[in-house]
Structure 1
Amino acid sequence: MNQTAATTEQDIILTPNAAKRVAAIAEKQGKAAILRLAVEGGGCSGFQYRFGLSDSIEADDIAVEESGVTLVVDEISLDLVRGSAVDFVESLGGSAFQVTNPNAASGCGCGSSFSI
């Protein structure tokens, strides 16, 4: 995994499985393979994850690369997800990007919100 100079190995990880899924979505939509993870207030546990394709990397973004796909996180969100891994999982309940966040004290059943 290649990372910008502003990140360390422990900041955040994009798994190969997630990178593969982002690449497929980006190709289908004709966009750059840049996945943006943001943390917003709300959800049933206090904070919620937001994923979306991004057209560019902003000056205050932390970026990590895996298999030609870039994961970007703004500095404020990074404080809440530092040390996390972003994966793509498929199960009987459906498929989704999933964040394994060591900072989360609790989460909700759907996995899209958490508390610190």
Structure 2
Amino acid sequence: MSEAIQLTSSAAQRVATIAAKQGKPAILRLSVEGGGCSGFQYRFGLADGVEADDTQVETDGVKLVVDSISLDLVRGAAVDFVENLGGAAFKVENPNAASGCGCGSSFSI
């Protein structure tokens, strides 16, 4: 059975670097909130720990945690870190998204 959500090695490496600089655990929280130009938007942040209703996956010693409500909207997705001429950012490849915006930070179902 495949993971409910995935964290790429590139994203794990970036989280580890950020967490080390901030003196925090290497735990990335992904949540989904209403808003953005397409209806829902992704939120990323370092977490201090794992909550009881979180789903977690680990890649290269870094954890990705998603709350149960957000997981319904991102199940099967992969979180990556990409760098290109436009900048560097975490990106969610979400198979549940029917459409997205140009910036890639919001989506609709």
Q: TM-score range by the shorter chain?
A: over 0.9
Q: Distance in 2 between matches of 1:85 and 1:14?
A: 6
Equivalent residue for 1:39, pick from 32, 39, 43: 32
Per-residue CA distance 1:71-100 (angstroms, 9 max, x = gap): 000000000000000000000000000000
Aligned residue number for residue 101 of structure 2 = 108
Give SS of 1:80's match.
Answer: helix
Q: Which residue of 1 is the match for residue 19 of structure 2?
A: 26
1:70 & 1:109 partners in 2: Cα distance? 28
> How far apart, in 1, do the equivalents of 2:52 and 2:95 lie?
26
**Aligned equivalents of 1:55, 1:10: Cα separation in 2:** 23
Superposed CA RMSD in Å reads 0.7
Q: Normalised by the size of structure 2, how large is the TM-score?
A: 0.98
Mark the runs of 5 or more structure 1 residues left unpaired by the alignment: 1-7
Q: Is 1:83 matched up with 2:76? A: yes
Is residue 35 of structure 2 the alignment partner of residue 13 of structure 1? no
Partner of 2:43: 50
Identity %: 76
- Please, what TM-score do these two structures have when normalized by structure 1? 0.93
1: CA distance, partners of 2:84 / 2:10: 14
Amino acid of the structure 1 residue aligned with 2:13: K
Q: How many residues align?
A: 109
SS in 1 for 2:10: helix
**SS of aligned partner of 2:81:** strand
Would you say 1:64 and 2:64 are equivalent positions?
Answer: no
